[in-house]
Amino acid sequence: MASTKIPNRIVLTEDQIPTQWYNIRADMPEDHDPYLHPGTLQPVGPDDLTPIFAEALCMQEGTPERYIDIPGPVLDYFKMYRPSPMVRAYSLEKALDTPARIYYKYEGNNTSGSHKLNTAVAQAYYNKAQGINRMTTETGAGQWGTALAMACAYFDMDLTVFMVKCSFMQKPYRKGVMETYGATVYASPSDLTDSGRAVLNAYPENSGSLGTAISEAVETATSTPNTRYGLGSVLNHVLLHQSIIGLEAKKQLDMVDEYPDYVIGCAGGGSNLGGLIAGYMQDRLTGKGNPYFIAVEPAACPTFTRGRFAYDFCDVGHVTPLAKMFTLGNSFTPASIHAGGLRYHGMSPMLCKLYNDGFLDEARAVYQREVFEAATLFAKHEAILPAPESAHAIRTAIDVALECKERGEAKTIMFGLTGNGTFDIGAYMQYHEGSMDDFAPSDEELEQGFATIPSLPGIQE
């Protein structure tokens, strides 16, 4: 391997952007278990979903098709910020003195700051194409809301965002970006929906949760003419859209004759990881290659590493379908770590199936401070301040590179750098000042969460 000839940034031209998404499910020996309707407990079909999501997205949610054409207007938008770079981390390798070759696929070079824009553009387009003129969504820290606001602005659609109240108060700038892109942003719980009013009546000082915000956004979508809801992770159609990351990544490493021994990504709801692994997971499922896949999650929210594989609700309010997934229980509330995007009790059912069946090889839980230690080292050597979520993957990539050093193995490591940390500097300051804490739930806290996983007579006890 003439590694000295590999450029720092492996650059694709826009005519090399994939024109089709890849659907991992098409190559899985067994599909994940179906979503269940929360009322009937029967498998959910497209018709159950079309009042909530655009029809094309409902079809994609269930499709067994291997490849789906990316619509022209979506590609037009992609060309404004894609292909994203694949970067050889020469400077980090040198700092670690490792024989491993480290690559990262960087999705942070756009105004939303993360990979979320990839599915936001697709979702806005399909809604627009159906004649929908308004979308609703929820947002926590604000990255997903920003991405969907950008996409809706471009396609001239209205967007209503329910933003978790504590973030709404603490992150006025995230709200400011969404408003600049024309979105209307409400603090959740709001008095605009039954779900919001119910919470406010019971707890007037409630500072909000993603669960409540989802309920408000779905309720608004289903009760307003010509309006649909958009979700930023977990679902199959979201992972499908994110496959653009992994397809580009494989093309880029192919160009320099590299094949990863390790593919490493952080996992919250699973949209980044599901996208990142797409190209290489196809190899694995079809016997053409055998990279080792590692999912990295926070010790504070250890869905894969300490969760149960069971049917559970996707939200706190139990208005969404049930999914068979690794879960900490729908009432589980992770500690307030800075990687807000990884604080979800469940996980993409597709990734959970892959993990349960041994195709996703390993999950690692890492602590917050070791994550920021890795992030700071990376920032110094690679000139990018990473998002705390992404830094989970950096931590594990560094650990694997150091394992390679111990064993003297020149392995190839590829990880996903999902976003930049521009809106997370408060967290870096806390780390710098030595006032950052580590968190992991006690066994008792986990048991409390598990207790809210429903008993489903005849399905699971």
Residues that bind a copy of itself (CB under 8 A): 7-9, 11-15, 76-77, 79-81, 87, 90-91, 109-111, 113, 117, 150, 153-154, 172-173, 176-177, 179-182, 376, 379-385, 420, 422-423, 425-426, 428-429, 432
Please state the length of the chain. Answer: 461
Least distance from C-beta 164 to a copy of itself, angstroms? 19
Report d(CA 88, CA 34) in Å as an integer: 40
Task: List all residues 6 or more positions away from 204 whose beta carbon is below 8 Å from its beta carbon.
Answer: none
Tell which residue, 104, 78, 99, 111, has the closest CA to residue 9: 104
Distance of closest approach, residue 191 Cβ to a copy of itself, in angstroms: 22
* Structure token pair of residue 211: 């669960």
Q: How far is the CB of 249 from a copy of itself (least distance, A)?
A: 17
Residue 386 DSSP code: B
Q: Which is nearer to a copy of itself, 1 or 425 (CB)?
A: 425
Distances (CA, A) of 254 to 7, 143, 154, 260, 295: 13, 31, 33, 10, 23
Distance of closest approach, residue 102 Cβ to a copy of itself, in angstroms: 13
CB closer to a copy of itself out of 12 and 129: 12
Residue entry with tokens 């994609």: 60
Beta strands in 75-144 (DSSP E): 86-88, 101-106, 134-139
* Residue whose CB is less far from a copy of itself, 51 or 176: 176
Beta pairing class for 101-106 and 86-88: antiparallel
Taking the complex as a whole, the smallest distance from the CB of residue 153 to a copy of itself amounts, in Å, to: 4
Which residue lies nearer to a copy of itself by CB, 145 or 269?
Answer: 145
CB of 159 to a copy of itself, least distance (A): 12
In the bound state with a copy of itself, the residue whose beta carbon lies nearer, of 219 and 389, is 389
What is the nearest approach in angstroms of a copy of itself to the Cβ of residue 87? 7
In a 3-state reduction of DSSP, which class is residue 325? Answer: strand
CB of 425 or CB of 451, closer to a copy of itself: 425
At closest approach, how far in Å is the CB of 391 from a copy of itself?
Answer: 12
Distance CA 326, CA 331 (A): 14
Q: Tell me the closest approach of the beta carbon of residue 105 to a copy of itself, in angstroms.
A: 15
d(CA 248, CA 13): 11
Q: Residue 36 or residue 249: which is nearer to a copy of itself going by CB?
A: 249
What count of other Cβ atoms lies within 10 Å of the Cβ of residue 149? 30
Q: Which two tokens stand for residue 307?
A: 């969760």
Give the amino acid at 7.
Answer: P
Rounded to the nearest 5 degrees, what angle is found at the Cα of 136, between the Cα atoms of 133 and 137? 150
Q: What is the rounded CA–CA span in Å between residue 109 and residue 374?
A: 20
Using the Cα atoms of residue 313, residue 316, residue 317 and residue 320 in order, give the sign of their dihedral: negative
* Cis amide prior to 34 (ω within 30 degrees): no
Question: Cα dihedral sign for 184, 190, 194, 195?
Answer: positive
> What is the C-alpha separation between 321 and 277, in angstroms, rounded?
26
Taking the least distance from each CB to a copy of itself, the nearer of 91 and 460 is 91
* CB of 14 or CB of 409, closer to a copy of itself: 14
> Would you say 200 or 256 has its CB closer to a copy of itself?
256
| Cβ atoms 419, 107 nearer than 8 A | yes
DSSP annotation of 405: H
Taking the complex as a whole, the smallest distance from the CB of residue 31 to a copy of itself amounts, in Å, to 35
Q: Nearer to a copy of itself by C-beta: 274 or 421?
A: 421
Minimum CB separation from a copy of itself for residue 128, in Å?
A: 15
